[in-house]
Structure 1
Amino acid sequence: MTPFPPEPRERAQAPHSREEWVDQWRTTAIVWMTVFHAVFDLQNWRVLEIPHFHQNPAWMWQRTLIVTIFLSCMAVSQALCHGRQQAAAAFWRRWLQIAGAAALVTAGSAVMFPTSYITFGVLHAVAVMLLVLRGLRQVPWLGWDRPALRWRDHVPGLLLAALMAVSPWMMRHPVFDSRWLNGTGWVTQLPITQDYVPLFPWLAVVLVAYEFGRWTLAQPGRWSSGRARWPQGLRWPRGMLILSRHSLSYYLLHQPVLLASFAVILRIVRGAWPV
């Protein structure tokens, strides 16, 4: 699981250029992800006893919700970037960072988990989804080149999302079970891997969130202030939002830091390094 591209900066609103409500959601997902991975690491080292962790519905549903929040934040951010005419150079710079990070994840996981390394995890999915969204902006019947002022302006995108949601059941075939094609999601059996976020049906979540982002752009009075969109008692302090603004760096570093910290603590408490 991973954070996603930061929100765009609005040229005319320097002090409040970021959409704080998106930062709040992404920070929530980052904190949740950190707790999830901490529990995963501790049960992997048999400090916690959680039988069949990877098949435990309570934990797997948490993973699904965390990924949903991350992908939704990414898609909303892209809709805002598109609506505010983000420079192409900024997009490609961020895309190269994400694609490079995905390659690092594959290389690192291949060393740690030779039989279940990651070939299409969250970062890989985000890198491809960013390209898909950029390409879909050129599709005339989606209408993404104009403001979504009426409810029916969202219908084409939502219909496409519905088609993507059901495509794994319509298109699955053994040919997609290979390690290098299972990223489509059209598999007949799930791959054995440490992280797996296939394009389908997850692109459906991304398209729905993108349409929501277009809707917020059409209602600037309601959504221009993030502070008004988040319950006061549940709001993260502004200092915590740095996690959202540096989400990719945090994602790449949090697991090594967690593992190193737990290893040192267990060495002190147990007198031996965990294995």
Structure 2
Amino acid sequence: MNTKQRIREIDFARGIAVILMILFHLAYDLAEFYKLPLDYQSGLIYYTGKTAAVSFILLSGISSTLSTTSLYRGCKLILWGIAIWIVLGIAIPGSNVIFGILQFLGSCLLLQHLLKLHRLQLPVLLLASAVSICTGVAFSRINMPGNLLAPLGLTNENFFSVDYYPIFPWSGVFLLGLALGKLIYAQPHRWSGSYQGHDPISFLGRHSLTVYLLHQPVILALLYLFHNVNYLKCLP
């Protein structure tokens, strides 16, 4: 979609997801790097992060029914995902990012383009979504001898990734987004027209990839400055 074809409610919803993502990563950074007693693996913080991720995946599926650039966007997301994996591996050894959300979304967009998933009828998309989710549940109960099939959701008990969204079951959410896009935006007049997205939340939604790539370095830099300024104030 170009600027004049953007849909305000999608950008706004994606902006909400961006805010939830930032809040989750702020809590994660405070817990991991500054040892604050914040449990990000359960409870409100955990579900804040998962709500953001599910929203991104669902909205990506919806948007892909309106876009003709799925191949380009898919390749771009995969490359950015690989770049993040390399940078984090160098900067923070041991912080595995194996098939994180960018690589997952990129793979979904490539599959959507290559298999023409957007052309499937609504009942078929819904059935495929359910099959994907059920397959993921089944795969999660299988203990593999290795992790070569981790992108599909097949791992062993020692597998670890700080950001992991395998094809199964998460492609089920993407397929559900495809179905919703076909259902809600079936008529072109439903989403045509000019829209600039001047409100802050929609602005975040319009630039979600840029915010995703930059928000963690910015958060960590601000936390570092805040921590050290307070530390210096405490010195005699």
Do they superpose with TM above 0.5? yes
Category of TM-score, reference length = shorter chain: 0.7 to 0.9
Matches within 5 A, 1:32-51: 32-46=20-34, 48-50=36-38
| AA aligned opposite 2:208 | S
For the residues of structure 1 that align with 2:46 and 2:194, how far apart are their CA atoms?
30
Q: Which residue of 1 aligns with 2:106?
A: 127
- Assess if the C-alpha contact under 8 Å between 1:184 and 1:200 holds in 2: yes
**SS of corresponding position for 1:80:** coil
Q: Which residue of 1 aligns with 2:6?
A: 18
Q: How many pairs were matched up?
A: 231
Coordinate RMSD, CA, aligned: 2.6
Q: Per-residue displacement from partner, 1:157-184 (whole Å, max 9, x unpaired)?
A: 1111111111124345433751x42121
- Assess if the C-alpha contact under 8 Å between 2:5 and 2:191 holds in 1: no
Q: Which residue of 2 aligns with 1:68?
A: 54
For the residues of structure 1 that align with 2:154 and 2:51, how far apart are their CA atoms?
21
| AA aligned opposite 2:52 | I
In structure 1, runs of 5+ residues without a counterpart are 1-7, 139-143, 147-152, 228-235
Q: Which residue of 2 aligns with 1:56?
A: 42
Q: Which residue of 2 aligns with 1:200?
A: 168
Q: Which residue of 1 aligns with 2:152?
A: 184
Q: Which residue of 1 aligns with 2:15?
A: 27
- Assess if the C-alpha contact under 8 Å between 1:21 and 1:226 holds in 2: no
Displacement of 1:248:
1.2
| AA aligned opposite 1:34 | I
**SS of corresponding position for 1:45:** helix
Q: Which residue of 2 aligns with 1:268?
A: 229
Displacement of 1:43:
1.7
For the residues of structure 2 that align with 1:211 and 1:247, how far apart are their CA atoms?
22
Displacement of 1:137:
1.2
Q: Which residue of 2 aligns with 1:251?
A: 212
Displacement of 1:198:
1.1
Give TM-score, length-normalised by structure 2. 0.86
For the residues of structure 2 that align with 1:190 and 1:20, how far apart are their CA atoms?
43
Displacement of 1:256:
0.4
CA pair 181-112 structure 1, distance change in 2 beyond 3 A: farther
In structure 2, runs of 5+ residues without a counterpart are none
Task: Provide runs of 4+ in structure 1 moved above 6 Å.
Answer: none
**SS of corresponding position for 1:55:** coil
- Assess if the C-alpha contact under 8 Å between 1:95 and 1:127 holds in 2: yes
For the residues of structure 2 that align with 1:28 and 1:117, how far apart are their CA atoms?
27
- Assess if the C-alpha contact under 8 Å between 1:168 and 1:200 holds in 2: yes
Q: Identity rate of aligned residues, in percent?
A: 25
Give TM-score, length-normalised by structure 1. 0.75
1:78 aligned to 2:64? yes
1:174 aligned to 2:162? no
1:154 aligned to 2:142? no
Q: Per-residue displacement from partner, 1:202-240 (whole Å, max 9, x unpaired)?
A: 00011011110011222456555899xxxxxxxx96244
| AA aligned opposite 2:78 | A
- Assess if the C-alpha contact under 8 Å between 1:76 and 1:209 holds in 2: yes
